[in-house]
Amino acid sequence: MRKKIVAGNWKMNMTVSETKDLIAKLKDKCSTNDVDVVFVVPSIDVTTAKECLKGTNIKLGTQNFYYEDKGAFTGEISAKMILDAGAEYVIIGHSERRNIFKEDDAMINKKLLKAHSSGLKPILCCGESLELREKGTYKDFIEKQIKSAFENVSESDALNTVIAYEPIWAIGTGKTATSDEAEEVCKFIREIIGKLYNDNVKSNIRIQYGGSVNAGNARELFEKEDIDGGLVGGASLKEEFINIVNYK
């Protein structure tokens, strides 16, 4: 049985003081019995968020890091810094990083390898543009993204990776993939993983859906066979997130 995982991707929202207010509103109402709950906050908010989440089972993550250990990489943070500040998850390969900050498949693979060798738990994003969806070639594209990301990743590290399928056309647009569309691709990703590794990894790796998840559609999405929870952007900044976590 795969435990569901619901992560809130706060993106570039929430100052330190806003972080305190939002966590105060959410922390006691998000049930962590059946679901792993992760707040993926801006790096600068991690220390404060850690303090605010004391006594809860809610986990913390950051949205980015660089794959080198230390040195002259102005503006970047390392895996060790994230772990030391108290976060354990990290998002890798979000479409906003790929598109706005020009991160390519090779860099994403390096980040995935580094996250695992450092002890960070990666949430690896993949997903196609509207153009590819309409052309019908989205599965080829996703297969390429997954194969490249997992190059040289060991079986045990693959098992500890969370994959988030996030069609770009559904992110922040209010246009969710239907639960059948989301299930089709999550199932397809599971099959690719099965071919790259084996049946154990295939049936145990967790695959989330992301893209305009809200309190109204979470249940239908998360009850699909191959969807193990969600990566939630906009709705993770509101009390609505409680109803997404407690979708049952």
Stretch binding ligand PGA (CB under 6 A), from 136-144, 154-162, 187-195, 225-233: 225-233
SS3 category, 122: strand
Alpha-carbon torsion, ordered 14, 52, 95, 167, to 10 deg? -110
Query: Least separation, in Å, of the C-beta of 55 and ligand PGA?
Result: 27
Closer to ligand PGA by Cβ: residue 78 or 95: 95
Q: Are 153 and 171 in contact (CB under 8 A)?
A: no
SS3 category, 231: strand
Choice from 172, 198, 200, 203 touching ligand PGA (CB under 6 A): 172
Q: Does 61 participate in binding ligand PGA (rule CB under 6 A)?
A: no
Choice from 85, 231, 244, 245 touching ligand PGA (CB under 6 A): 231
Query: Least separation, in Å, of the C-beta of 210 and ligand PGA?
Result: 4
Task: Show contacts of 17-24: CB within 8 Å, 24+ apart.
Answer: 19/45, 19/48, 19/49, 19/52, 20/48, 20/52, 22/237, 23/49, 23/52, 23/53, 24/52
Q: Does 38 participate in binding ligand PGA (rule CB under 6 A)?
A: no
Closer to ligand PGA by Cβ: residue 122 or 201: 122
Tokens linked to 206: 């967790």
Closest CA to 128 of 177, 180, 92: 177
Query: Least separation, in Å, of the C-beta of 247 and ligand PGA?
Result: 14
Tokens linked to 13: 């929202």
Judged by CB under 6 A, the number of residues near ligand PGA is 13
Binding flags for ligand PGA, 173-212, as an x/- string (CB under 6 A): -------------------------------------xxx
Q: Does 92 participate in binding ligand PGA (rule CB under 6 A)?
A: no
Q: What are the catalytic residues? A: 94, 166
Closer to ligand PGA by Cβ: residue 186 or 232: 232
Give the up-direction half-sphere exposure of residue 196: CA atoms within 13 A in the CB hemisphere: 27
**Rounded distance, CA 242 to CA 25, Å?**
9
Tokens linked to 62: 């950051």
Give the up-direction half-sphere exposure of residue 193: CA atoms within 13 A in the CB hemisphere: 28
Choice from 4, 5, 9, 150 touching ligand PGA (CB under 6 A): 9
Query: Least separation, in Å, of the C-beta of 141 and ligand PGA?
Result: 18
Q: Does 171 participate in binding ligand PGA (rule CB under 6 A)?
A: yes
Residues that bind ligand PGA (CB under 6 A): 9, 166, 171-172, 210-213, 231-235
